[in-house]
């Protein structure tokens, strides 16, 4: 994966800087999300990897599938990626673009997985505490996993806080086996 991120980084930075200069970060984010989702599709992957198609044909096909969901600038960006044989990097480029955007906006997406549904008040309190700890605006998404038994699992970028009963039991078992 490190190789993909290394190859995608300059394209993500270029797209981010262009979008920031044009005050169009939100639009580029949406359009890159669409293009990345289309490029990640298995059927589209076979088209993008087809050696019998020229770079221009691959870009045109991707742009046609995206349709009006992508603007002229993003279509040009896709053409540049295609001419450099980098269309397969679109999902990684989008991920890095979003990371750059989050860093600029001082926000972070946090995923909270719990064994039961969390109340709105608990979610807001958790977002407030995490926001102070991470010094960022926190956008919380929640889901449930009955296998956790109890507690929560929190993912915020590279940070993972495992406060689940399952996690604690795994740590206990690991300690006993050591």
Q: Give every residue of the chain whose pLDDT is below 50, as ranges.
A: 1
Q: What residue spans define the domains of the chain?
A: 2-102, 107-177
In the prediction, which pLDDT does 12 show? 93
Collect all residues with Cβ–Cβ distance below 8 Å to 158 and sequence separation of at least 6.
none
Helical residues (DSSP H) of the chain, grouped into ranges: 2-21, 25-40, 42-48, 55-66, 72-83, 90-105, 120-134, 165-177
In the prediction, which pLDDT does 165 show? 78
* Assessment of whether the complete model's pTM goes beyond 0.85: no
In the prediction, which pLDDT does 2 show? 57
- Is the domain spanning 2-102 CATH 1.10.520.20? The answer is yes
Collect all residues with Cβ–Cβ distance below 8 Å to 28 and sequence separation of at least 6.
15, 16, 18, 19, 73, 74, 97
pLDDT tens-digit series, residues 12-52: 999 999 999 999 999 999 999 999 999 998 888 888 888 88
């Amino acid at each position: 994966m490190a190789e993909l991120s290394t190859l995608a980084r300059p394209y993500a930075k270029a797209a981010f800087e262009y979008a920031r200069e044009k005050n169009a970060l939100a639009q580029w984010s949406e359009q890159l999300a669409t293009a990345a989702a289309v490029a990640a599709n298995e059927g589209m992957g076979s088209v993008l990897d087809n050696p019998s198609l020229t770079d221009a044909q691959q870009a045109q096909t991707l742009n046609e599938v995206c349709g009006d969901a992508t603007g002229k600038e993003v279509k040009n960006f896709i053409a540049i990626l295609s001419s450099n044989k980098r269309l397969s990097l679109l999902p990684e480029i989008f991920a890095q673009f979003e990371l750059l955007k989050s860093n600029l906006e001082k926000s972070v997406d946090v995923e909270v997985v719990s064994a039961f549904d969390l109340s709105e008040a608990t979610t807001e309190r958790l977002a407030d505490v995490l926001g102070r700890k991470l010094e960022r605006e926190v956008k919380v998404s929640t889901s449930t996993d009955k296998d956790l038994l109890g507690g929560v699992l929190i993912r915020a970028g590279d940070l993972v806080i495992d406060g689940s009963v399952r996690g604690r039991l795994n740590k206990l078992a690991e300690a006993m086996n050591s």
